[in-house]
Amino acid sequence: MNAAFLITPKSDVKFVYDHWTIRQALEKMEHYRYSAIPILNKKGIYVGTLTEGDILWNLKKNEDLDFWDTEKMLLKDVPRYRDIKAISIDVEIEDIMEKSLSQNFVPIVDDSGVFIGIIRRREIISYLLKLREEAQSKA
């Protein structure tokens, strides 16, 4: 099965831009209760995923910073602990299952790297449960 059937489109996904500040990202993540969020550039290209840990480690490394300094620091300057790669929309669902083990969602891009949405771990699990139920009903 093609992964396109499980995608949550960009229009339904919350994301941040790499030219935003850490504070803007924190506020969005807090509002939606996210622990990770996709980062796009101004052209809509997926550049990575920001996690709460990335922000915390950055603040720890810069001990002289306080919360108000987060209004001046851009996301593109925040090192990310994990390099979460996006996957092409053409991939088969079986090929993204392993990626979903270590992250809540898998970013999906088109052939130009433009972000088009995500596939959530819960959608993958739902798909697998449906397959199991179908197999059990045939048995």
For residue 44, the tally of other CB atoms under 10 A from its CB is 16
pLDDT score of 63: 78
Confidence band for 64, pLDDT divided at 50, 70 and 90: confident
Parent domain of 103: 3-138
pLDDT score of 52: 94
Q: Is the predicted pLDDT of residue 87 greater than 90, yes or no?
A: yes
* DSSP one-letter code for 80: P
Q: Is the predicted pLDDT of residue 20 greater than 90, yes or no?
A: yes
Q: Is the predicted pLDDT of residue 100 greater than 90, yes or no?
A: no
Q: What is the CATH number of the domain that holds 74?
A: 3.10.580.10
Q: Which element (helix H / strand E) includes 40?
A: strand 36-40
The runs of H, that is alpha helices, within 1-139 are 22-32, 52-61, 97-100, 121-138
Can you tell me the mean pLDDT for 50-55?
94
Q: Is the predicted pLDDT of residue 65 greater than 90, yes or no?
A: no
Residues written for the chain:
139
* Number of compact structural domains in the chain: 1
Per the DSSP assignment, residues forming a β-bridge with 88 are: 109
pLDDT score of 39: 98
Average pLDDT over all residues of the chain = 91
Q: Is the dihedral of CA 128, 7, 97, 31 positive or negative?
A: negative
